[in-house]
Amino acid sequence: MKKIMTMGEILVEIMASQRGQTFREPGTLVGPYASGAPAIFIDQVARLGHPAGIIGCVGDDDFGVLNIERLKRDGVDTRSIHVLKQAVTGSAFVTYRKDGERDFIFNISNSASAQLTPAHVTEASMKDCGHFHVMGSSLFSFRIVDAMKKAIEIVKGQGGTISFDPNIRKEMLRIPEMREALRFILEYTDVFLPSGNEVTLLANAADEQGAVKELLDLGIREIVVKRGAHGCTYFDAQHRVDVDGLSVDEVDPTGAGDCFGATYVATRSFGESPEDALRYANAAGALAVGKKGPMEGTAAMVEIQQLLASHASRETT
Ligand code: ATP
Ligand code: MG
């Protein structure tokens, strides 16, 4: 079976231990935890038993070791993670407000993750890749955008498919070249995985229905809209499928979208129908929010099946 691959930031996350804690005064922090949206995504792919690999850069430090060891342990091919001598591994510090919103202090644009260039993307590193996933959050420099385009062209050239989670900061869209780059990626996208508020981000239409039609007309085959606790919706040219969110306690929302996308893409690659892939992905997202730490909520298939079974039995009793 061919590999699912992704590319981009690999970081550690360090979290405030109390809700309402701020970074304006000393407090207790927990971490470092393995993190980075593409890293979480690929870890979840590997945990489902699907061949998986990631291209990225870390520094020559223990934050890098922590990530590489963790991804390796879960079955990810880490041979295309480059350890850069002159850079440090990226990091993110996060606090949780009382209302559940998160505030971040990122150290990514100065980190090893920002040193990724098209030279890191080679035919050899992508030889067994049948599907490539693009995270919008990774596109924070034009060098990285060029690297992403190169990866997309290699994968498409060998008959593979592309998924795209826009997950992009709004400020990036104000840069005209960045919007153009995202449109380029969209044109190659087979599976689009936006959050509810991101559906219209790259479309001309102002409402979801119009944007979905426009995106399908562009050649995207499957669109899956993530709706947090409300679940998700699937669209293709003929169908719409809505799935309610599973009722779970939300401990930490970070990583839910990444685990959701990974599970959808991997189970589709295993041959599941869109409906079943959607149910599995919905459960993977629910499991992700139940665990503290960005990558700590990735789940094996048995856990996903157990959660679905426990909810099915609740519905019948
Ligand atoms: P992020 O904020 O990390 O970018 P996202 O917007 O990409 O996240 P979400 O919609 O928050 O992704 O979550 C992805 C999926 O995970 C949802 O579509 C849903 O299936 C599941 N999920 C998320 N939050 C919850 C929750 N509180 N309860 C149950 N399921 C959830
Ligand atoms: Mg998201």
The ipTM assigned to this model is: 0.97
Quick one: average pLDDT of 69-96? Answer: 97
Cβ-contact 279, 243 below 8 angstroms = yes
CA distance 123 to 95: 40
Give the environment of ion ligand 2: residues with CB less than 5 A: 167, 195, 257
Q: Is 273 left (phi over 0), alpha (psi -120 to 50) or beta?
A: beta
Q: How much distance in Å is there from the Cα of 223 to the middle of ligand 2?
A: 14
Nearest CA among 16, 70, 65, 20 for reference residue 47: 70
Cβ of 278 below 6 Å from ligand 1:
no
Cβ neighbours of residue 176 under 8 Å, at least 6 residues apart? none
CA distance 74 to 41: 12
Q: What one-character DSSP code corresponds to residue 253?
A: -
Please identify, by atom number, the ligand 1 atom nearest to the C-alpha of residue 246. Answer: 29
Which range, of 69-83, 101-115, 266-280, averages the lowest pLDDT? 101-115
What is the per-residue pLDDT across 38-77, written as a single tens digit (0 to 9) for each? 999 999 999 999 999 999 999 999 999 999 999 999 999 9
What is the per-residue pLDDT across 154-165, written as a single tens digit (0 to 9) for each? 999 999 999 999
Cβ of 232 below 6 Å from ligand 1:
yes
Nearest CA to ligand 1 atom 11: 228
Which range, of 57-66, 116-125, 305-314, averages the lowest pLDDT? 305-314
Ligand nearest to the CA of 290: 1
Which range, of 23-32, 169-178, 253-262, 295-304, averages the lowest pLDDT? 169-178
CA distance 33 to 239: 39
Residue ranges of alpha helices (H) inside 88-233 are 142-157, 170-173, 176-188, 208-217
Q: Taking the domains of the chain in order of start, what are their residue ranges?
A: 3-316
Place of tokens 């779970």: 248
CA distance 146 to 266: 26
Cβ of 304 below 6 Å from ligand 1:
no
What does the mean pLDDT of the chain come to? Answer: 95
What is the per-residue pLDDT across 225-248, written as a single tens digit (0 to 9) for each? 999 999 999 999 999 999 999 999
Please identify, by atom number, the ligand 1 atom nearest to the C-alpha of residue 194. Answer: 7
Nearest CA among 304, 285, 303, 291 for reference residue 41: 285
CA distance 145 to 122: 15
CATH no. of 3-316: 3.40.1190.20
